Each structure stands twice: as structure tokens, then as C-alpha cells.
Amino acid sequence: MAQTLQHTQSRFRLSLRRNKSVHARLSIEKSARAKEVKNKQFEQMECWLPTNNLQSVERLSFDLDIMLCIHSGLRVVRKAFNTQPSLLPRHYASIANEVALLRTLVHPNLVRVYGTSADASSVYVLSEFCEGGNLESIAKTVVKRNGIVGEVVLGKICEGVLNGLAFLESKCIDVTELQPRNIFVTREGEIKLNEYGSFYTDSCIMSQVSAPKPIYASPERIKGDSYTITNLVWSLGIIIIELAGNKYPYNTKDSVSLLGLLMKIVRDQPPELGNSNSWSDELRCFTKTCLIKDPIHRPTPSTLIEHPFISWSKTRKVNMKKWIRQVWEWDS
């Protein structure tokens, strides 16, 4: 088991794939031909935001920019993936097909992918800009200000995540990892999942994506079992308890390494909400349901949507727009 756990982090790669994906078969020719095929592939997949219509607004990191669509005024995020010189036409075809799939996944709780473009050194993916940031950055800000995330807000987060996951489940799309950094909030307070695709970790794409965190993985995935949609339900339970308690729910002080922490997740009883009277029995039951250790008995997202806590949350009117503005202290 130790050997399996040692390789866990490398196994947890962000991957979005269609269960019956079809990849274009292109012959491998000389480099000049490869470049020609590359250009044709991305000309076909170019979204309605052509490169010459985009203006840089802000650089968030070395590979991430906020771009302004000059004619429409729409702001989008442009993610850059530096490519290796050995990248072959079939790899570009695979990426183009992946983006074609992503563009069809339109749902209120998914970050919209608009399209892609490429130049001599990079592939760019253009997606919806969520100004409220992700739950990882939000949680850090709340802790810094000695605040809490209230139960009604937790309910709306659960609703959004489950609706997005249930949609992907219905489309036979596998998302093998869920963590706070890929759950986003818009300026209007909408909850959105952000998944870009398997090309994030394609062996021929140097994406510089931040390493995924297996600490949100289910026990069965840590042990190396095959993927099921219920793996993500476990992750949601961990995320909600972390948001509610302002700290990661497992005691990391006794874990001298990632390996030790992962062994605790596999061997120990699942964490629970703290003893605060702030949390309802419905929320406690919801998190316990998410963290059922046996994946066979753990519900799928489409089933968990019917949980009493979610039913209660749907009846609550919560001004999520006001909440995210308070988090970031926006004036308007």
C-alpha cells in the first residue's frame, strides 16, 4: 500500500475526457507539414474571439491573462500552454477535438470555454472570467479576516457544485478531481466548476499547471481503485467541512509527509463538522453522506441533489452577489 500511496500524487492529474472519445488520425510527416496541419486545426477551432480582437487587460501569472474582447467588451481568461517542438499533428488534433467537446458543455454551473488559438510556441484556451475567484482564494481571505462561511452560503455552493457534476454525469464526462481551486464564483455570485481538459497534462504539452492536491481525494482513489463519479462526492464533503471550519479537516500535525496524510485518509474514520451549534442536523447529515467510506454506498451527484439539506437550501433566498462583494470588499 505504501508503494501505491507514494505514486498517488502523480496519478491525480486534472483530466476531463469523454468515455468514448474519438481522436483524429493524421499521418506524421515532416516538420513543415506538421506546422501546416497545426495551423489548419486551430483555424477550424478558432472561437468567435479572434486573436486580433483581444487586448490584454491584466497579467495574473506567467501563463494566465485577462483579455478584453474589443468589439463586445467581454472579458475572458486566456490560459497559455507552452508546446514542445516535437508536438505532432495528431496531438494538435486531439487538443482541437477536446476543445470542441468543451465548447459544447454549456451549463450555468460550468465555466464556459469559448475556444482556442495557437502561435509558434503556445496553445491558448479562452474561457469565461470569474471575477470572484476560486474557493481556495476565498477561503484564505475569509480566514485572514477572522470570518466564517455561513450555512446558507455553503448550501448554495453545494447546489452549484452538484448541479454542475450532475450535468457532466449525464453527459458521460469524467472529472477525476475536485478541489477548491477549480470551483469558481462569478461577480454575480454564481458557482461554477472549471475543467479545461486532458491536454492539461498531455505528455507533449508543457502546461505549468499547479500540481493537483490528492488531499481531497477519496480513500478508494488513494488506494488506486478505478474512477467513479462518487469519488467527487467525497471531495465535496471535505471541501465543505474545510470551508465551515476554516481549516483542512484532517489533523496534519502528526503527518510528517504527504504519504502519512494519505494513509490517515485511508485508515481513519471520516472527519465531521465541529461541535459548534451553528450547523444544522441537515448539514451534518449531508457531509456524513458525502464521506461514506464505501463508494458503493456513497450517492452520485444526481442522487445527492435530492438530499434534505439541498432541498432546504433551494428554499432559501441568498444574495450570493452581496456575499462575494463582502468577501472582496468591492464597493459596487
- Residue 69 covered by a domain: yes
Same domain, 169 and 317: yes
Closest CA relative to residue 74, chosen from 132, 127, 134: 127
* 120 and 35 in a common domain: yes
Residue 9 within a domain: no
Residues 84 and 172 in one domain: no
Same domain, 91 and 166: no
Q: Could you give the percent of the chain with pLDDT greater than 90?
A: 54
In a domain, 220, yes or no: yes
Please tell me the predicted confidence (pLDDT) of residue 119: 74
Residues 114 and 249 in one domain: no
Mean pLDDT of 204-229: 75
Q: Taking residues 283-289, report their average pLDDT.
A: 98
pLDDT tens column, 86-97: 666 666 677 777
Instruction: Give residue-wise pLDDT tens across range 136-180.
Output: 999 999 999 999 999 999 999 999 999 999 999 999 888 878 999
Counted residue by residue, the chain has a size of 332
Number of domains in the chain: 2
Of 67 and 256, the structure prediction assigns the larger pLDDT to 67
pLDDT beyond 90 at 307: yes
Domain assignment present for 13: no
178 shares a domain with 37: no
Q: Same domain for 180 and 105?
A: no
Instruction: Check whether 68 has a pLDDT greater than 70.
Output: yes
The model carries a pTM of: 0.81
Res 313: pLDDT: 98
Q: Are residues 197 and 245 in the same domain?
A: yes
* Residues 237-252: tens digit of each pLDDT: 999 999 999 999 997 7
Same domain, 214 and 79: no
Position 226 scores a pLDDT of 87
Per-residue pLDDT of 4-39, as tens digits, reads: 444 444 443 334 444 444 344 434 344 444 444 444
Residue 216 shares a structural domain with residue 289: yes
CATH number of the domain encompassing residue 213: 1.10.510.10
Confidence band for 196, pLDDT divided at 50, 70 and 90: low
pLDDT category of residue 75 using cuts at 50, 70 and 90: very high
Residues 208 and 111 in one domain: no
Whether residue 122 is predicted with pLDDT greater than 60 in this model: the reply is: yes
Among 74, 98, 128, the domain-final residue is 128
Does residue 14 lie in a domain region? no
| Domain presence at residue 271 | yes
- Among 75, 108, 128, the domain-final residue is 128
- Residue 297 and residue 219 in one domain: yes
Domain of 97?
21-128
Among 98, 97, 90, 76, smallest CA distance to 16 is for: 98
